[in-house]
Amino acid sequence: QILKGKRIYVKLRRLTVTDLKVSEPMIKQRTIAEIVKAIGIGLHKGEKVTITLRPASANTGIVFRRVDLDPVVDFETTPEAVGDTQLCTCLINKDGVRLSTTEHLIAAVAAMGIDNLIVELDSSEVPIMDGSALPFIYLLQKGGIEEQNVAKRFIRIKEKVRIEEGDKWAEVEPYDGFHIDFEIAFNHPAINESRQRIGLDITTQSFIEEISRARTFGFMKDIEYMHANNLALGGSMDSAVVLDEFKVLNPNGLRYSDEFVKHKILDCVGDMFMTGHNLLGKVTAFKSGHDLNNKLLRKIMATESAWEWATFETPVTMPAPGLELAPA
């Protein structure tokens, strides 16, 4: 029945995002907010290198760019891009163009949970800086972290994957977060005095506080040999922990009492990020290095049942870069 002559009042409510069923990802991709630059010395040539970090749009990934070449050459961050692991992690593209010493920067990017970044270099190598990841952490912090309105994608491990070479081995298994358990075995008095095995949940905070300052290390006899053959010309006590047959030669000693194994963990953080995506899983390794770590990552990605993409639309907190500071 129609009500004639009656006024009907209807209270209107403004439509909300919930009404429209449009949801934003809870855990978002990250880039840097501003362009930042630094200058350092290349490990191999011993020459000055300028590194420029630029923000990148969502789903770009981590792209290295050699601007000293004409035309410029880009390198994608993939396990297959790692073409040489002698002395460093070296990216090699399909044309044989090389970019060396990417490992410490990649570790810093992984630890900061950054998904999209352009790394420009006017040389064939990333500067070695002080031999650790800390200068790159500072550089990224100076650039600032900016979230992007696209879901961050993690690689979540579903089943154990293992690789062995002689007495060396590395494996990954499911874990709610990112954990590395690493053991080294060096027959050297100075290294034997330190702890040679560490297990640690890797978060942005734990990496900065416990891992980032750990420097690469080497032996004086090897450095002298390489210098004599025009190799590692930028290597010195300013960029590494240097040992003779008995002791650490650096005047200020070690930064951590267990700096040796912590640097191996630093390397592993970077090596496991060569997909450009943070890993959710537990890595356990014995006497592993860049080469074996890369082979493990390749085996993981080739084993379809071993991993899956993971995004988070609801609040979650677990020990992993990009997740540890998620809203409760």
Beta-bridged to residue 283, according to DSSP, are 172, 180
Per-residue burial over 100-135, b if 16 or more Cβ lie within 10 Å, else e, is bbbbbbbbbbbbbbbbbbbbbbebbbbbbbbbbbbb
Q: 179 catalytic, yes or no? A: no
**Contact assessment for residue 72 and residue 98, using Cβ atoms and an 8 Å cutoff:** no
Residue 9 CB burial class (10 angstroms; 0-12, 13-18, ≥19): exposed
Closest Cα to residue 173, out of 156, 149, 190? Answer: 156
Residue 269 CA to residue 207 CA, distance in Å, equals 9
Q: What is the DSSP letter of 216?
A: P
Residues in the chain: 328
Catalytic residue among 179, 263, 277, 290: 290
Cα–chain center distance at 247: 30
Beta-bridged to residue 54, according to DSSP, are 118
Q: Active-site residue numbers?
A: 290
